[in-house]
Structure 1
Amino acid sequence: MILEVSLQTADDLVQFGAKLGGLLHGGETLELVGDIGAGKTTLTKGLARGLQIDDEVQSPTFTISRNYEAADGLRLAHYDFYRLPDAGIMKMELDEAIHDSHTITVIEWSDVVNNLLPTDVLQIVIQVQPDDSRKLTLKSSGEKSRRIVEKLR
């Protein structure tokens, strides 16, 4: 299932992320696709807000991963593989996060870990438009991600 959403501002992107975050219950994998500066981390900040995470979300570009605890026992695991030629030592950590029913896994620059992704992934492609707005294309690849996209319609 595919859903396209147009958002005008960074605040709109955060609000959309918060709405999406409120629909997540753990065990979901989100693949964020977009150029540098498209808003992948901004969307993740919104996800954290929707999951009621108080910590400030920062880009994991230099740390590769950042984890945030939600009040209800859920965890947001945020990965950025932009700087890596392969998953390397992160493979085991990523695999654990993906298969943990209490973790929402968000992956930026997933090319080097595509073979590790589960079959059910919610892919969110963020495209910067000429007027600096954002076009989001959400693609579900399984039952769980399909239900999420349906709720966002």
Structure 2
Amino acid sequence: MFSIQINSLDDLPKVAEEFLETFSDQRLFAFYGKMGAGKTTFIKALCRAMGSTDNITSPSFALVNEYDTNRPEKIYHFDFYRLKDMTEAMDLGFDDYVDSGNYCFMEWPEKIERLLPEKLVEVHIEEISATVRELKASIV
């Protein structure tokens, strides 16, 4: 279990490093939180901690963005918010991404709950105030 309070954006680089170290053997991450909770912001910090210099944005309309890192693995960043049904995720080749061995950061995974693999890291981000977030993560 990983649990931390993030008091400002300045804390993100350190928290991202700790998070990646805690889950160093994991590649699949499901991010839960209300709109504006900071899912994309934290994913951006994770990508930066992994050496990505790509433009990290929410793939709201594309459903998935791919980022390079300074590691052998790539990062696939999903945003299922606008997904109409799970068929869209299947047509996208979701299983291939999950089975690739690359990092998969998934926003709004509740939209594809039945497609999620059994072993992944559930990340819950809760807005405590305008600048403070609570992040809890565990392998499920």
Shift of 1:110: 0.8
Structure 1 counterpart of 2:110: 111
Residue 12 of structure 2 corresponds to 13
Secondary structure of the structure 1 residue equivalent to 2:114? helix
Name the SS for the 1:136 alignment partner: strand
Matched, 1:79 2:82: no
The answer to which of 5-14 and 44-53 deviates more is 5-14
The C-alpha deviation readout for 1:29-70, integer Å capped at 9, x for no partner, is 101011111110111111111211111211111221101122
Q: Name the SS of the counterpart of 1:54 in structure 2.
A: coil
Structure 1 window deviating more from structure 2 (63-72 vs 36-45): it is 63-72
Question: Partner residue of 2:136?
Answer: 137
* 1:40–1:126 CA contact under 8 A, matched in 2: yes
How far did 1:14 drift? 4.1
Query: Which residue number corresponds to residue 120 of structure 1?
Result: 119
Asked whether the 8 Å contact 2:26–2:120 carries over to 1, the reply is: no
Kept after mapping to 2: 8 A contact 1:38/1:126? yes
Give TM-score, length-normalised by structure 1: 0.80
Q: Deviations over 1:6-40 (max 9, x none)?
A: 11012323432244345666761101011111110
Distance 1:94 1:25 in 2: 22
**Matching residue's letter, 1:5:** I
Match of 2:69 in 1: 70
Render the CA deviation track for 1:119-148: whole Å, top value 9, x for unaligned: 11111100010363001111211xxxxxxx
Segments of structure 1 that go 5 or more residues without pairing to the other structure are: 142-153
Q: What residue is the counterpart of 2:41 in the other structure?
A: 42
Q: How many residues align?
A: 139
Residue 89 of structure 2 aligns with which residue? 90
1:22–1:51 contact (8 Å) kept in structure 2 = no
